[in-house]
Amino acid sequence: MGYRHSAEEILEAAVAIALESGFAALTFSRVGKRLEISDRTVVYYFPTKLDLINAVAGALVADMVNLLEDAFGSKPLSQKDLMKRAWPVLTTASADRVFALYFEIVGLASSGRAPYDELAAVLVAGWVDWLAPRMLGSSADVRRRRALATVAHIDGLLLLRHVLGAAQGEAAAREHGIST
C-alpha cells in the first residue's frame, strides 16, 4: 500500500507551518495533523527533525533566490545597485515571513542551539557565496569581501525592520540610499 502524500506535499505543509508559526512549532505531529496523516509518514520522508528543518530552509532559500535573480538581472552590479534592487524584493509580506524564520535560525544559533548553529552558518555562507559573483570587483576575493559587506548591510537593515518595524527599516534604508 502506497503513501497518500509525496515528499513534496509534506514539505509544502512543513513550509506552511514554519511560515505561520516558526521553526519552534515545526514538528512531525503538526505536519501529520495538517495533512491528516500519521507522523510516521512524515518521518518516512524526513527521518530526523534536522532533515525536515533543512528541507524547509532549502525550499525557502530557493524561493528567495528566484526572486532575487529576477531583480538582479545577469550583469554584476555595485553594492549599492544590488541593494537597491534587492530591497523591494526583501521587504514584501512574503519575504518578511521568510526573514522572520531566518532571524529565528540566527538567534537560536547565537545561543549555541543545535542544529541551528550549523544551519545558520550554512545559510549565511551560502547567501555570501551566491551573491559574490553578482558583485562588481576586480577579483574573486574583492567580490567576496563586497558580498560579505552587502549581506551585513542587508541583514542589518532587515533586522531593524523586523525588530523596530517597517517604518524604521525604511528610514535606515533611505539613509543608505537604497530606498525612496
115 and 164 co-located in one domain:
yes
Burial (CB count <10 Å: 0-12, 13-18, 19+), residue 115: middle
Tally of structural domains, the chain: 2
Residue 77, strand partner residues: 135
Q: What is the pLDDT of residue 1?
A: 44
Tell me which residues of the chain have a pLDDT lower than 70.
1-3
Q: What is the pLDDT of residue 63?
A: 87
65 and 37 co-located in one domain:
no
Q: What is the pLDDT of residue 71?
A: 87
Does residue 96 lie in a domain region? yes
Q: Of 47, 69, 84, at which residue does a domain stop? A: 47
Q: Is the torsion defined by CA of 119, 21, 56, 148 positive or negative? A: negative
Does residue 72 lie in a domain region? yes
Question: What is the rounded radius of gyration, in angstroms, for the C-alpha atoms of the chain?
Answer: 18
58 and 33 co-located in one domain:
no
Does residue 180 lie in a domain region? no
Does residue 167 lie in a domain region? yes
133 and 160 co-located in one domain:
yes
66 and 16 co-located in one domain:
no
Q: What is the pLDDT of residue 3?
A: 57
Q: What is the pLDDT of residue 64?
A: 87
Does residue 8 lie in a domain region? yes
Does residue 73 lie in a domain region? yes
Q: What is the pLDDT of residues 136-156, one digit of tens each?
A: 999 999 999 999 999 999 999
Find how far residue 130's CA is from the centre of its chain: 13
Residue 42: closest CA among 64, 9, 79:
9
Domain that holds residue 34: 1-47
Q: What is the pLDDT of residue 166?
A: 94
23 and 87 co-located in one domain:
no
Q: Is the torsion defined by CA of 154, 152, 100, 129 positive or negative? A: positive
42 and 62 co-located in one domain:
no
132, 79 contact by CB (below 8 A) = no
Q: What is the pLDDT of residues 50-70, one digit of tens each?
A: 999 999 999 999 988 888 888
